[in-house]
Amino acid sequence: MATNERERAVLSLKGVTKRIGGKTIVEGLGFELFPGEIVGLLGPNGAGKTTTIRMIVGLIGMTEGDISIGGHSIRSEFTKAIRHVGGIIENPEFYPYMTGLDNLKQYRRMTDGITDERFQEVIRLVGLEDALNKRVKAYSLGMRQRLGIAQALLHKPSLLILDEPTNGLDPAGIREMRDYLKEIASKEGIAILISSHLLSEIEQICGRVVVIQNGKLVTVRDIGEQQNKAERSQIEVVVRATPLTVARQALDRLDMVQVTRVFEERNELLLSLKDEDIPLVVKALGEHDAALYRIEEAKSTLEEEFLKWTGGNRIA
Amino acid sequence: MLNHGSGFGKLVVNEWLKLSKKRSFFIAFLIMAGFVALLAYLTTIAPSGETYTALRFAAECMEIRGLGSIMLYIVIISTSGIVAREHSMGTIKFLMIRAHGRSRILASKYVVALLYMLALAVFTLAVTLAAGWVVFGFGASEVSWADLFLQALYTLVYMFVYTTFVFMIGVLTRSAGATIGIGMFAVVLQSILNMVLSRYAFAKYLLFTNTDLSVYATNTAPIKGMTLTFSVIILSVYVILFLAASFVTFKRRDIA
């Protein structure tokens, strides 16, 4: 099982360490990405996200450890490993005096076997048909971002690495990009690694997050829908009811319900209970003549969890 | 086209396009044409009383002291950014995450720097011949075609060595501005150092004293004991050192 998993991994980091001078920037980092999954790389400023991403694509060397992509080491078989990778590292930078089309052709020439169909398909996909004959100099950041995605997808990579992919996109563009990334992940089985400081972004798109701090792995967590299902047994809900004291007494009597917090100023109680016990809560409140205004699920956001993991450091 | 060695030719095409798609690309050629026209004009009004032919005019233009150093300045300016600007524009990131080794990418850039140098030299030679033909005609001349090509070859060697030097500086400094500055300074320094240092024996091992091979055509070695073969060996050693420094640095560098 373990070896199968390892072979299946598109990207695998093992004990990756980077030291510059006497300073350790990344230490013993290890995680894996499998086909079709979208993983977020999170960490506060200076946690080593950018260094990690640059090591994955071979822009900077590592002091210890190894990274393999599609089963090839980025250290010893660079061209074989990098062939599977498409990426945007920080801002997408192009030759400003050339048109978008000429820029894209540059990258087309660097990989054999990109057909005209593929070329046109990618252009259509990122919605750049109209802007292609303009010089990149005249592009907005959003347009450059799209062109960046286009160059990353031309050679049908199996691993897509995106540093701040929605940076500079308008809300419609962000949504489109998100839908598109989800689609290529599920349809073409591309694994996507995204680093972003927009936690809500990560939350909406990623199935898993890798959190690093001070160059070390803090946690690898499943998030989103999968987590909800897994943790269905015990959920947290906020109940607003008056009078609050009456409501509290009523609920304290229920064994399966725990009142974990009281917000007096808002007349709210935070409860921990099983989904199927919610009708009992409503019934108990009714029996004790407490007026119920609302019941809602208290989802802890990724941001709150992130702050928990990283000890409240500021977010990158 | 040129699709051997898994796409090295395509890398060269890419690099050539990066250079030639700049609006300033043709200005370099215009400047050379302008200088040739100016020299042709000055030669006709100069009261030297000597008779010029197209070949003699072209040969004198192609000398290092003629248009050779101006050509070199233009090559320095035009090729200074070939590596440096990839760094300063940030385009190096997309360039390096392709299935090509770093050495191959750098080699394609070096090839294009040399191609540019060659293109400018060939263009200038053609223009000097055309201008010489129009102004002086192809009369009987003591300068032969062989003399002309030999002169152009000397200048090409001189440009080749400095282009390689400037290429290395571009890799090492990652700054087009610094590269132009250092490159120009080295070329200007050459003439000064040659005068000052020529009395010292060690000066014959310097790059500067060896770059002008045309001195051997008149059998006057700049420093006693220097021969054409000696200079060619010294130049080769320097070129190899420059390239080794460039490739080793480029291969190992972290791109932050």
Condensed to tens digits (0 to 9), the pLDDT of residues B68-87 reads 999 999 999 999 999 999 99
Out of A205-214, B196-205, B239-248, which region has the weakest mean confidence (pLDDT)?
Answer: B196-205
- Domain assignment of residue B68, given as a range: 8-188
Contacts A–B by Cβ distance under 8 A:
77
- Flag if A102 and B21 touch (Cβ within 8 Å): yes
Q: Is B101 on the interface with A (CB under 8 A)?
A: yes
The answer to whether A80 contacts chain B (CB < 8 Å) is yes
Give yes or no for a contact between A162 and A192, defined as CB atoms under 8 angstroms apart: yes
Confidence at B12, pLDDT banded by 50, 70, 90: very high
Binding-face residues of B in 150-169 toward A, CB within 8 A: none
Shortest Cα distance, chain A CAs vs residue B106, angstroms:
14
| Domain assignment present for B193 | no
Q: Which helix (H) or strand (E) holds B152?
A: helix B145-173
Measured distance CA(B2)–CA(B108) in Å, rounded: 13
Whether B243 maps to a domain, the answer reads: no
pLDDT, residue A253, reads: 87
List, edge to edge, every strand of the sheet that includes A291-297: A258-263, A268-273, A235-242, A291-297
Q: Is B201 a domain residue?
A: no
Of A59, A90, A109, the CB nearest to B13: A109
Domains of chain A, with CATH numbers?
2-228 (3.40.50.300), 231-302 (3.30.70.100)
> How confident is the model over A71-79, as a mean pLDDT?
94
Query: What pLDDT digit, counting tens, does each position of A235-274 carry?
Result: 888 899 989 999 998 888 888 888 888 888 888 998 888 8
With respect to residue B161, please indicate whether it lies within any of the assigned structural domains.
yes
Residue B249 lies inside a defined structural domain of this protein = no
CA–CA distance, B46 with B24 (Å, rounded to integer): 33
Query: At residue A229, does pLDDT exceed 60?
Result: no
| Chain B positions in Cβ-Cβ contact with residue A91 (cut-off 8 Å) | 90
> Which residues numbered 94-153 in A keep a CB inside 8 Å of some CB on B?
94-98, 102, 106-107, 109-112, 151
Note the pLDDT tens digit of each residue in B158-217. Answer: 999 999 999 999 999 999 999 999 999 999 888 788 778 878 888 889 888 888 898 888
A79 touches chain B (CB under 8 A): yes
Nearest to B97 among A82, A90, A98 (CB): A82
Is B97 in CB contact (< 8 Å) with chain A? yes
Q: Is B14 in CB contact (< 8 Å) with chain A?
A: yes
CA distance B93 to chain A (A): 7
What's the confidence (pLDDT) of residue A7?
A: 63
Query: Under a CB-based contact definition with an 8 Å cutoff, are residues A224 and A203 in contact?
Result: yes
Per-residue confidence band for A230, with pLDDT thresholds at 50, 70 and 90: very low
The tokens describing B71, both together, are 């050509």
Compute the nearest-CA separation of B22 from chain A (Å): 6
Distance from CA of A26 to the nearest CA of B (A): 15
> Which residues in chain A are contacts of B7 at CB distance < 8 A?
109-110, 112
Rounded Cα distance between B216 and B222, Å, is 9
* Nearest Cα residue to A163 out of A126, A202, A123: A202
* H-state helical runs in chain A: 2-8, 49-56, 78-82, 100-109, 116-125, 141-153, 171-187, 199-205, 225-230, 244-252, 278-287, 302-309
Helix (H, G, I), strand (E, B) or coil at B209: helix
Closest Cβ–Cβ partner in B18, B101, B256 for A60: B256
- Which chain A residues are Cβ-neighbours of B10 within 8 angstroms? 109-110
Asked whether residue B143 is domain-assigned, the answer is yes
Residue positions counted in chain B: 256
Domain count, chain B: 1
How far is Cα B183 from Cα B173, in angstroms, rounded to an integer? Answer: 12
Task: Work out the angle between the directed axes of helices B176-197 and B81-89 (0-180°, nearest 10).
Answer: 150
pLDDT digit string (tens) for B13-58?
A: 999 999 999 988 999 999 999 999 999 999 888 777 778 899 999 9
Q: Is residue B205 part of a domain?
A: no
Residues in chain B closer than 8 A to A94 (CB atoms): 91, 94
Which two three-digit tokens encode residue B129? 């011949």
Buried b (16+ CB within 10 A) or exposed e, B198-220: eeeeebbebbbbbbbbbbbeeee
Task: Mark yes or no for CB contact B96/A112 under 8 Å.
Answer: no
CB B158 within 8 A of CB B207: no
pLDDT of residue A273: 86
Note whether residue B15 is domain-resident. Answer: yes
